[in-house]
Amino acid sequence: MAIAKPALILFGHGARDPEWALPFRKIRALLVARNPALTVELAFLELMEPSLPDAIARLAADGHGHITVAPLFIAQGGHLKQDLPKILDAIRAEQRGVEITLLPALGEVDTVLEMIAAWLGSVVR
């Protein structure tokens, strides 16, 4: 069997407003443009589709043996500390052949915080 392309899931909270997902689609487009070898999908905790289990099941069915999940949350609270570990435990029990790597939330990454601070410092007057 051919080695499948690496896969990344941009995982967001979700919202009632369909336009809420626009930044996620833009990040996806930027990533795909720069890394054609990377498969990038979106997934949501609630209010939007697909769910994380559905997105991972689809990628696994396409032969992806390693999937990275990037929680695009500005900070980590109950959703990431309590909900997400349970969701991932259930997915790992279901998808035994798939290795899942969880990235830290945006707000846990010093590089990202520095970039946000640099942007804010450049626009505030």
Q: Which of 1, 2, 3, 17 binds its own copies (CB under 8 A)?
A: 17
66 is catalytic: no
The two three-digit tokens of residue 32, written as one number: 């795909």
Contact between residue 73 and residue 12 where contact means Cβ atoms under 8 Å apart = yes
Amino acid identity at 44: F
Residues numbered 36 to 75 that lie near its own copies (CB under 8 A) are 38, 66, 68, 70, 72-75
Residues that bind its own copies (CB under 8 A): 6, 8, 10, 12-13, 15-17, 19-24, 26-27, 30-31, 34-35, 38, 66, 68, 70, 72-78, 81, 101, 103, 106-117, 119-121, 123-125
